Every structure is written in structure tokens, then in C-alpha cells.
Chain A
């Protein structure tokens, strides 16, 4: 369907963006890549009176890598992450997860900030942000605030972002070279939203036991979050076949997917278990 009517605004600084959002409370929406917003508008699920485009805002698409970790500007595209060779060591989990996002043409437009704000529990970036304890920098009329991903995602397509706030960047904590990790998902066709997926990392203690375990899921949770019960099933254990099965079972029980047109909740729960068991094998075999 054709899009509903709106007024198009294209300011050139973050301060002007939030001023425009504040001037039209609840009626203005940011557009970044438009790859989620425009379909939503075509279906009349959203009909904002004003669209505030980020295209003229400079400097929001940088990938900065330093001792504190990786910082992604909100307007960083999937394509930019794919093309940045540094991320293979600076954040391999991010790089791998993003290879699964959408199709070629969508990847040339879709952005990190748009995906985080859209907060689809079936999307990869919110999963990575939640799993890796990312911190978001938000800008509103009163200035900047920082927020942990765990406080940001509140429900499907629901976040702690106010109507007059924007995401400036997301920071992923530093990634140690020795870390064990895996990202696996299953979709009927590459680039489609996954029926289910898992993100996993852990470190090894002096006795070669798993510690600092982080597990997140894609498409099999009510909103993007970690699975603390499954994580504690791995912490302190050696990663062998038996442990992998137990952790996978715990994750399968802990996941809280809904049934939809594409797959039932039971199927998705079972898929999470299967994928996590395989992910644990992959992670254990990975040598740095």
C-alpha cells in the first residue's frame, strides 16, 4: 500500500532532531533506514504526522574500537558492520550475528539504532545488545543519559525510549581474545527473520571451567533478554556433552516464545535447545 501522508523534516544535528520530536509530542517519528518504519506505515500500523530523517546528521555512523570496547553510532548500517574487518577480533559475536540480518538490499539501508528502537524480539541486534550487556547513549531535550540494554527493552516493540528521545550510540564492552562464543540461528531462507536463534559466550577460569556465561535468544523470547537460569547451569562447569545437554534443556524451558503463523511456541522452545547444544559444542571447539 502507499504510505499515509506526513511532513518530512531533515535536520542536521542531534539537538535539532530532539527539538523537533519535542515540538510535536507523540506525532513525530525518526526515520533512519526506513526498513522497519516504512513497511509499518504502509500497513497503517503507524501514521506519524512528521518524519524526522537522520540522513543529514553527520558523524552518527562511526564504528569506534578502543580499550573500552566497540561503539556503534546509531546510523551504522548492517553493511558497515559486514565491511569492517576489525570487528572479526574486536567483536566476533556481533559480526557473526549481523551476517544473519535481512537481505542484501535491506542491509544497505537498515541501521543499528533503528533496530534497537524497533525492538523486535526476533531481531539479531537487540539480542546482541541484551546478551553482551550493551549500554545505549540516549539524547533528549534535557541532555544525554546512558542506559543498560537490560533496562531498555521492556516488551515486544516496546522500549524505555521517550517520544522525544533518540539513540546516539550503543557500546559493547571489550571482548577478550580468549573468549568462547557462538551464534546460531535457523531460518527457512537466509535473510528472513529466524524461527529461533541463540547467542552464547563464556570465559574460562584457571581450572578450565566456564565462567561469566551470557546466553541470549532470537525469536524465542517475549523481548530481548538473557536467560539467567541457563547461564547458571553452565557457570562453574567444564563444557562437555552432558553439561551441554543440561544447559540446552534449561534454556529450552526458560525461553518464552509465542506461537505465530510461522511456528508454534513448542517448536521454538525445542529449537532453542537444539541450537544451544550445538552452540556449546562450537564454542568449546573454538580456539583463539
Chain B
């Protein structure tokens, strides 16, 4: 079936079998491999993307269910030059080691701080509990997200 949506600000189209998940559509058909796939059944959060402003698991959404939507992946969070404030904060706090989980944490945290720039540490911990990381032990990820809050307090949500 033919599917059209907006990926990181650009209109895209793909011809996919109905069973294609949004994750596989983005990776295999649109060749944006920043979105990672771990468990393929909704438990690890590695595949998190932002659909119409909300963080969702792209392995638990059909590509067909995204037609007409605005989809943002980790590629879309990254400015043309350098890194975003959230990404800088991950680097500063050593919030990644192997990096497999990182796209999922970045998209989740970006959606959260865009919608709730004043999220307290408890809320951030709670939200990030849906993402698994086998390397870092989470503490540095939480620190990085907390530290990035100031960048969102000022930013205009429409400018994503």
C-alpha cells in the first residue's frame, strides 16, 4: 500500500506491505536508520519517535497508521551544524556508552520537555522508565535531561 506522511519536516511517500511497522518503514523504506529497533514488541523504547507531538513506540504502530501525520525521528532533532542542546547535554553528562538506546531516549526526552518544560526530576525519571539502557545505569541520562530543561523553557514549540 502507498503511504504518505511528513518525516522530519519533509513530505515522504513509501510503497509498503500492510504489515510494515512505522519503525521498519522509516529504516528500510525511507533509509533513516537513526531510529533503532530492539525488542519489536513494545518493551524497550529504542524505537521511540514523535508522531504529531507525542512520543510513541514505532514498532507498535503500523506505517499505515502514520499516514498524514508529522513524524520526527532523532535525525530531525539534530540541527544542520553541531548538536542540539539536549544532545550536548547527553555528551556533557556521559549519558551514553554503546549508544543503541540513545535515539529512543532523545526522542522521548524531547517530546517530554517540549510538552512539559517544567517537568521535575521525579516526572523525568517516571517517563524515562519506559526506555531500557543496558550500559549507563540511567543516572547520567536523568542528569542530562534535567540539565537540558533550560533550553526548552525558552524554545518555541512550533519551531521544531
Contact = CB atoms under 8 A, between A and B. Distances in A.
Interface stretch (B38-46, B76-84, B85-93, B146-154): B38-46
Interface in A228-280: none
Interface stretch (B7-15, B18-26, B94-102): B18-26
Interface in A24-82: 31, 34-35, 38-39, 42-43, 51, 53, 55, 79
A43 B41 contact: yes
A108 B56 contact: yes
Contacts of B1: 8
B126 interface: yes
A104 B64 contact: no
A5 interface: yes
Contact of B40 (A2, A4, A104, A105): A2
Contact of A191 (B18, B21, B64, B130): B130
Chain B binding surface SS class: mixed
A3 interface: yes
Contacts of A53: 62, 64-65
Contacts of A2: 19, 21, 24, 40
Interface in B21-61: 21, 24, 40-42, 45, 48, 54-57, 59-61
Nearest to A35: B60
A38 B64 CA distance: 13
A7 interface: yes
A56 to B, nearest CB: 10
B107 to A, nearest CB: 9
Contact of A38 (B42, B108, B126, B129): B42
A70 B74 CA distance: 39
A190 interface: yes
B18 A34 contact: no
A6 B108 contact: no
Contact of B61 (A39, A104, A109): A109
Contact of A105 (B18, B21, B24, B130): B130
Contacts of A39: 41-42, 60
Interface in B93-142: 108, 112, 126-127, 129-130
Contacts of B60: 34-35, 38-39, 106, 109
A154 interface: no
Interface of A: 1-8, 10, 31, 34-35, 38-39, 42-43, 51, 53, 55, 79, 102-106, 108-109, 189-191
Which 3 residue pairs of A and B lie closest in terms of their CB atoms, listed nearest first?
Answer: A103-B130, A8-B18, A39-B41
Given A8-B64, A42-B40, 17 more contacts: A1-B40, A8-B18, A31-B62, A38-B60, A39-B42, A43-B41, A51-B62, A103-B45, A104-B55, A104-B108, A104-B126, A105-B57, A105-B108, A105-B130, A106-B130, A109-B60, A190-B129
19 contacts: A10-B64, A35-B57, A35-B60, A38-B21, A38-B42, A39-B41, A39-B60, A53-B62, A103-B127, A104-B55, A104-B108, A105-B45, A105-B57, A105-B108, A106-B42, A106-B57, A106-B130, A108-B56, A191-B129
